Amino acid sequence: MTPLNDIIENFSLLDEWDDRYRYLIELGRELEPLAENAHSEANRVKGCASQVWLETTVNPEQILTFKGDSDAHIVRGLVYLVLALYSGRPASEIVATDAGDLFQTLGLTAHLTPQRSNGVRAMVERIRNDARSVLLPA
């Protein structure tokens, strides 16, 4: 996965929004394939207009790793961004990290349709809820 700092730098080099959307689609093509059985109702993110699936794994040190997929090209790119921000991080960091800062930095906040913005919020909330559930005492 492309490091988040590289993604931010690449976005800053692209002046035209068409180029940024193409880059977003390109990022989505780099997503690691999600196993067919992971395209399940349990992994489906509710609140997204497109179909989005997130698979969560947690290691003993409470580090969460995510895999994701979508049936829409631009949304796959948004999934990629969200995973670049959150995957491989401890649950406590995930809960404390606001994805809105990243989307503001990239200039995506102003250029996403309301439906896509709602979908991103649903993905982020799902990831943060998964992290919160790891932090709850057993």
**Cα distance between residue 38 and residue 66, in whole Å:** 12
Catalytic residue list contains 48: yes
Q: Specify the DSSP class assigned to residue 44.
A: B
Candidate list 24, 45, 48, 84, residue with the active-site label: 48
Question: Are the beta carbons of 11 and 107 closer than 8 angstroms?
Answer: yes
Residues in the chain: 138
Positions marked active-site: 48
